[in-house]
Amino acid sequence: MRLHAVTAVTAVTAVVTALLALAVSPAAAADGGAADPQEPAGLFLTVSGSDRTWIRGVELRCTPEPAGSHPRAAEACAALHDADGDPGALAGEPRPCTKEYDPVTVTAKGTYDGTRGRYRMRGTAPVELDWSKTFPNACAMHAAADPVFDF
């Protein structure tokens, strides 16, 4: 049984690594991985179940306009902007939830658009994120982190 859990975690890690590798543009790969200053900043967002038995992920870009594979990109970018680019400060979409314990982990890795906060000057460096949080269940995650993690 222990070997199966290790194999599942290894498989999930391989899938996430492959997805991140696909997110690198061919131009960036050709020049040794250096980021193109014209390339829009982007985040890779994931939601995974207990013991990483399942995982799903999307790309979210907020600059120059909301884009990526996120189904609610415009709303997610607006929520991140209101939270000054900090996923831990999202307002969420509050709702009543049960106390069922079936943990869900969310992650945000990559670059937020660089317009952090309403008073931040344009042209400042993008915000690098490597953030994760575990919620007691999916309802609690949605209540605290939607629309950013609603996919």
| Mean local confidence (pLDDT), 57-72 | 94
Q: Tell me, what amino acid is at 22?
A: L
Residue in the structure block whose two tokens are 């400042």: 124
Backbone angles phi, psi at 56, to 5 degrees: -140, 155
pLDDT tens across 87-117, in order? 999 999 999 999 999 999 999 999 876 544 4
Domains of the chain: 40-145 (3.30.350.10)
